[in-house]
């Protein structure tokens, strides 16, 4: 990918023939550029000015990152403070004593092991469902011509705008009619029926693959499902990982679904359990923060495993606008 210069920020790549130099090769080019700057356009800044600008950029980047990440640090630190230190104002930014037992206390104050297992079950099933179903549907839309296809695809896109509020009451009645209230089916089953956003994401990718793949496989005698399963599914791996991770973040943190469709406290998921602290008599900040820390861990782990798929550092993946 050619590096593109940022408007308003001077960079050696801008307006010179070195535009296509990959990022790893930049420093040497830069150094050379500063030495031979006499040849360039008159508006080119002085070397010291450039160094100043670069360090200014680093200061800005670091400052912004620190501000954005501060809530994470603050949550972790606060969850480890002893009660007396927790209440202190002005607050201490590094706890004098790391009280790890806070986590044990928080965890045992409610049946969190049960909630965790419930959350893991719902999340795993939903992620499985969304990847399988969205892949199938996207394949159908992207690789076949059939009657009503365009209309249906527009409808699919349009359904993304319908707010949850509009659907929730009739859905509740529907699930209640089916006897699904207080089961995990209302939370899991919809993901097995394709989620429009991910269908769209996968369709965009599948459309970019040349026709030759199916044709070759047809000649080899593969049937339609085999073509999908053996040829296209492996190609979709990065997009499927992206889909799984993005959907995992949503399901893992879903609060309204379990709140509305589940009744038994033993069936609750982590977000509902965490929210329970707020409504209970004793508001125990330390425990709430400790459970919050625990809740952030799985998304963080998933993110770091799938980082290159989400952030699009990989050449052929990423969320495209």
End-to-end Cα separation, the chain, in angstroms: 18
Site for other proteins in 141-200 (CB under 8 A): 141, 143-146, 149, 152, 155-156, 159, 161-171, 173-174, 190, 192-194, 196, 199
Q: Of residues 289, 306, 309, 317, which one binds other proteins by CB under 8 A?
A: 289
Peptide bond into 90 cis (omega under 30): yes
Instruction: Quote the least distance from Cβ 269 to other proteins, whole Å.
Output: 10
Query: Residue 114 or residue 249: which is nearer to other proteins going by CB?
Result: 249
Determine the interface stretch with other proteins among 44-52, 73-81, 100-108, 119-127 (rule: CB under 8 A): 73-81
Shortest distance, CB of residue 183 to other proteins, whole angstroms? 16
H/E segment holding residue 319: none
- Helices 237-253, 196-207: axis angle to 10 degrees equals 170
DSSP 20: G
Number of chain positions touching other proteins (CB under 8 A): 105
> How many residues are there in the chain?
321
User: In whole angstroms, how close is the CB of 41 to other proteins at the nearest point?
Assistant: 8
Using the rule CB under 8 A, which residue among 42, 71, 210, 221 binds other proteins? 71
Instruction: For Cα atoms 302, 118, 195, give the angle at the middle one, nearest 5 degrees.
Output: 60
Instruction: Give the contacts of 58 (CB within 8 A, at least 6 positions apart).
Output: none
Residue whose C-alpha is closest to residue 302's, from 243, 234, 237, 258: 243
What six digits make up the tokens of 54? 């670069």
Dmax of the chain from CA atoms?
79
- Other C-beta atoms closer than 10 Å to the C-beta of 259 total 13
Least distance between other proteins and beta carbon 288 (Å): 5
> Does residue 260 bind other proteins (CB under 8 A)?
yes
Residue nearer to other proteins on the CB measure, 57 or 117: 57
Site for other proteins in 202-221 (CB under 8 A): 211, 214
Residue closer to other proteins (CB basis): 148 or 234:
148
C-beta of residue 102 within 8 angstroms of C-beta of residue 287: yes
Q: Please report whether residue 305 would count as binding other proteins according to CB under 8 A.
A: no
Distance between CA atoms of 55 and 35, rounded to whole angstroms?
Answer: 19
- C-alpha–C-alpha distance, residues 14 and 278, integer Å: 54
**256 touching other proteins, by CB under 8 A:** yes
**In this complex, which beta carbon is closest to other proteins, that of residue 104 or of residue 173?**
173
Q: Could you say whether residue 230 binds other proteins (CB under 8 A)?
A: no
Contact between 13 and 19 under an 8 Å Cβ cutoff? The reply is yes
CA distance 50 to 54: 6
**Binding other proteins by CB under 8 A: which of 80, 125, 127, 274?**
274
CB of 137 to other proteins, least distance (A): 4
Q: Among 42, 210, 221, 321, which residue sits at the site for other proteins (rule: CB under 8 A)?
A: 321
- Least distance CB 156 / other proteins (angstroms): 7
Site for other proteins in 3-62 (CB under 8 A): 3-9, 11, 13-15, 19, 23, 26-27, 41, 54, 57-58, 60-61
């Amino acid at each position: 990918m050619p590096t593109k210069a940022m408007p308003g920020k001077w960079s050696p790549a801008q307006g010179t023939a070195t535009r296509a130099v990959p990022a790893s090769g930049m420093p040497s080019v830069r150094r050379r550029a500063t030495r031979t700057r006499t040849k360039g356009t008159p508006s080119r800044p002085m070397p010291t000015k450039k160094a100043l600008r670069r360090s200014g950029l680093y200061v800005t980047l670091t400052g912004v990152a620190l501000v954005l990440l501060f809530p994470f640090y603050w949550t972790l630190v606060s969850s480890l403070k002893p009660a007396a230190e927790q209440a202190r104002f002005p607050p201490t930014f590094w706890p004098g004593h790391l009280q790890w037992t806070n986590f044990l206390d928080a965890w045992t104050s409610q049946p969190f092991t049960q909630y965790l297992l419930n959350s893991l079950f719902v999340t795993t099933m939903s992620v499985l469902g969304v990847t399988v179903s969205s892949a199938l549907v996207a394949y159908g839309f992207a690789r076949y011509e059939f009657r009503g296809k365009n209309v249906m695809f527009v409808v699919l896109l349009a359904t993304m705008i319908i707010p949850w509020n509009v659907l929730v009451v009739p859905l509740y009645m529907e699930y209640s009619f089916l006897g699904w209230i207080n089961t995990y089916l209302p939370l899991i089953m919809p993901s097995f029926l394709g989620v429009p956003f991910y269908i769209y994401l996968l369709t965009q990718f599948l459309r970019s693959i040349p026709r030759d793949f199916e044709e070759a496989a047809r000649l080899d005698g593969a049937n339609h499902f085999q073509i999908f399963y053996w040829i296209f599914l492996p190609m979709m791996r990065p997009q499927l990982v992206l889909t799984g991770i993005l959907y995992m973040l949503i399901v893992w943190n879903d609060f309204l679904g379990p709140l509305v469709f589940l009744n038994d406290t033993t069936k609750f998921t982590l977000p509902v359990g965490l929210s329970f602290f707020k409504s209970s008599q004793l508001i125990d900040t330390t425990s709430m923060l400790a459970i919050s820390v625990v809740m952030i861990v799985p998304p963080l782990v998933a993110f770091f495993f799938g980082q290159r798929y989400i952030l699009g550092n990989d050449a052929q993946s990423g969320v495209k606008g």
